[in-house]
Amino acid sequence: MGFKVTVESGVGLFVHDIGPEDGKPILFIHGWPLNHGCFEYQYNQLPKAGYRCIGLDLRGFGQSDKPWYGYTYDQLADDLRVVIDTLDLNDVTLLGHSMGGAIAIRYMARHQGHRISQLALVAAAAPSFTQGPDYPFGMTKEEVDALIWQTYKDRPALLAEFADLFFEKPISPPFKQWFIGLGLAATGYSTAYTAVSLRDEALWDDLASIHVPTGIFHGEQDKVCPFEFGEILHAMIYGSTFYPYEDSGHGLFYCDQDAFNADLSTFIEQNR
């Protein structure tokens, strides 16, 4: 079922809640520039195994309210806290993809892992999405600036080009149109403002705050968040488990959906 949870300043966030009410909760946090619907192929299967799947549309995306403000990692992490408390979730597996992984990491640091028992980082945009001194991985800030410019000039074209980067394995033309539609459900300004956060925010200092079992799921062919991101996170998060996907890119939860769903279930069950 779907409903809204009210967070800071009356902003309503859309929540999709499917699966047994007493099932182990998995809270899905989507990446840029999508919404909770990108995890359709997890919602189709994981409830069969007894998991309660809770998909959240971040502010500005999908069916959530779209305020002009509030697109920093801190605010997005604070929004998560309100959703978790409002739904009275406990023993949560927090799963973040891409930018959602960065927000999940910020949540673990800013809210001391409140009510989280496992963390799943899927092609996470961390510890930094952009390059810096002694860190040659990811996009340059100028490349992200170009994405922001295109967001304001021709967002449908941006989304079409991003779909080509997102999936390493072939997708059908109708599937690509569906993917573009997920992005178009956001506003242009929320898409741009979160890209600013991707460009400017880093999470090096947050990683030491992660004290729950952590699974790192990353495609070796990822053209958005390079595979090195996953390797660095695995090295810096104590006791983490690494799940590499040799033939997948950024959209590994679709292109390797059967293996990913099985690995996610294994990770959760082994760390309960």
List 57, 79, 206, 222, catalytic entry: 222
Q: Are strands 24-29 and 51-56 parallel, antiparallel or unpaired?
A: parallel
Q: Which residues on adjacent β-strands are paired with residue 130?
A: 139
Residues in the chain: 272
CB 254 within 8 A of CB 167: yes
**Burial class of 40 by CB neighbour count within 10 A (0 to 12, 13 to 18, 19+):** middle
Q: Catalytic: 98?
A: yes
What is the C-alpha separation between 89 and 105, in angstroms, rounded?
18
- Would you say 47 and 114 are in contact if contact means Cβ atoms under 8 Å apart? no
Options 30, 64, 98, 206, the catalytic residue: 98
What end-to-end distance do the CA atoms of the chain give, in Å? 26
Name the maximum alpha-carbon separation found in the chain. Answer: 47
Angle at 216 between CA 224 and CA 103, to 5 degrees: 65
Is 36 one of the annotated active-site residues of the chain? no
Active site residues: 98, 222, 250
